Amino acid sequence: MASIILASSSPYRAELLRRLQIDFTTIAPNIDETRRPGETPETYVRRLAREKAAAVAADHPRAVVIGSDQCSECRGEILGKPGTVERAIDQLLAASGQPVTLTTAVAVNDPASGHIEVDAVTTDVRFRRLARAAIERYVHTDQPLDCAGAFRAEGLGISLFESIRTDDPNALIGLPLIALNQLLGRIGIIRP
């Protein structure tokens, strides 16, 4: 069996992939993640997932490489990783009482065929109405500065929501395991 590489530096994605009980290593891809003019959220994350898998596969042509990316959209605006406390607070203030759509893509490079297959999962989240003081406490406590949309659903961020609708709850955290398992199954890495 080919080695498996997760093209990511995300500890959240690595933790999710461990759930499938397959051996893998991680390598951070080096790609430009700038959104192109006119890209929809789905087109954007599909492209990034594909480019991450391709970038790592170029140096490891015999490996099955998994790439993934995610973005959040609120009121037509893409919410990336905030990076700072101030931006995290601003993103959560914008999301307060609003629906937010997260799109998470996963790509699998198949070294036998030379093809990369990509799938995407949409998660709809409705935020509770949040006071600024509650948002500031949350950001201070959970430190979601490296999370698209400024929340950690696997942590205290779950308390910010009224509802979640998705076909794969893992997509909310950053790696859609149902879609990934199906993609891996197509190339003979089948999980029970």
Cβ atoms within 10 Å of 19's Cβ, excluding its own? 12
Q: Pairing mode, if any, of strands 4-7 and 25-26?
A: parallel
Report the alpha-carbon distance of residue 7 to residue 124 in Å, rounded.
26
161, with CB counted inside 10 A (0-12, 13-18, 19+), is middle
User: How far apart are alpha carbons 140 and 104 in whole angstroms?
Assistant: 26
Q: Is 69 part of the annotated catalytic residue set?
A: yes
Say how far apart CA 147 and CA 80 lie, in whole Å: 7
In contact, 185 and 110? CB cutoff 8 Å: no
Q: Which of 69, 110, 142, 168 is catalytic?
A: 69
Catalytic residues: 69
